[in-house]
Every structure is written in structure tokens, then in C-alpha cells.
Copies of this chain bind each other. A is one copy, B any other.
Amino acid sequence: MGRVQTFETDVVVRAARAVFWQRGFEEASIPELEQATGLRRSSLYNTFGSKRGLFDAAVASYLREVIAPRLRPLTEAPVGADAVVDYLMGMRAGLDDPEADAARHGCLLMNTAGAPVAMEQAVGEAVAAYREELRRALASGIAARHPEAGERERGRLAEAVTALVTSAFALTRVDNAAALRSLDAALDLVD
């Protein structure tokens, strides 16, 4: 064995994730990532192989540390009747807080949906998979809230609420008020 890594990979990825989140993949430059992570190019390339490699790690970290915890009450049984509403209100609070990353920069994945890097198949698939995960989670929350409704009805509702949430994410950067109204509309729909 030789010299051991002196930084914690998770910490570095988290720092890089913040840069990608607020700047987007193509606008985030290597010097910026160096400064944010406190690592030099050589270490970044040695650890992640390329800028894309670092971005992929950032996306994985985002799914694991940002998205999954928020979705957990909707994905792990038992799902309470208030889980959907809690989720939507939590997100509303996040988008209403000017300090929060979500309010200022939306969703890392939704932002990349319209970015050039989304043309690369793997990235596009990651975005699509994320949306599907969100839809499934919302669907189970809706099922818990409206057990009496028909499956078709619930499916439509889940689709609509998913779209409202993604729309809020996509818009908060340029029109925070509209994003909040989207979530209000979602809250209306589920009741």
C-alpha cells in the first residue's frame, strides 16, 4: 500500500455538487471546482477520471442525500394519509426560503434536463428515472390518502401532481412566485 487519500470523497463530491447545482454542468469550470473542493486538478482527475465522472458522482450524491430522504415517507411502508401533503408542504417551504438551494437553483436534475449535457444518453436516462421515481412515490402517497378512489383516477392525479412538482422545480430560478403557485395547485389537487 502507498500513501492514503487525505480527503473524504463524500465531502468533496458534496462541494462539487453545490457548484454543479448552482452553475450547471457546462458552466461549472475546473478552476471553480478546484476552489470549491479544495483539491487540485490532478487529484480530481485522479479520483473521478473526468469532469463528467465528477458530475455523475455529484448526481448520485444528490439522489442519495437530497432526494431519497425527502421521498422516504412516500416510499417506505407504512405510508401515512398525510405523507403527500407533508411532502408538498415541505417542498413549498423549501422553495419559499430564499436561502435554500432549492429555491435559488431548483433541482439539479431538472435543470440538466434542458441543458446540453442531457443529450448524452446516460444523463437523459438519469433524469427520466428520477421523474419516474418521483411519480411512483407520489402515487403511493395519493393511494394512501384516497384509498376509495379508482386506480385510473389515482393514476391521473399522480401524473398531474408529478408534473406540478417538476414544473415548480423547472421554474423557480426564473419565477419563484410561479413555482410556489404550482405547488399550491398541487396541494389543491390532492384534496
- Complex CA distance for A189 and B24, rounded to whole angstroms: 34
- Complex CA distance for A127 and B173, rounded to whole angstroms: 10
- Complex CA distance for A170 and B156, rounded to whole angstroms: 19
Does the CB pair A110–B170 fall under 8 Å? Answer: yes
A-B contact list, 6 entries, CB within 8 Å: A27-B116, A114-B173, A131-B178, A159-B185, A163-B164, A164-B167
The chain B residue with its CB closest to the CB of A119 is: B173
Which residues of chain B have C-beta atoms less than 8 A from A97's C-beta? none
* Interface residue? A124 (CB, 8 A): yes
Q: Number of A residues whose C-beta is below 8 Å from B?
A: 43
* Interface residue? A41 (CB, 8 A): no
Residues of chain A touching chain B, judged by Cβ–Cβ distance below 8 Å, are 23-24, 26-27, 106, 110-116, 118-119, 123-125, 127-128, 131-132, 156, 159-160, 162-164, 166-168, 170-171, 173-175, 178, 181-182, 184-186, 188-189
- The count of identical subunits is 2
Nearest-Cβ distance from residue A72 to partner chain B, whole angstroms: 23
Which of B124, B156, B174, B189 meets A173, CB within 8 Å?
B124
Does the CB pair A114–B111 fall under 8 Å? Answer: yes
Rank and list the top 6 A-B pairs by shortest CB-CB distance, nearest first.
Answer: A163-B167, A128-B175, A111-B114, A124-B174, A159-B185, A27-B116
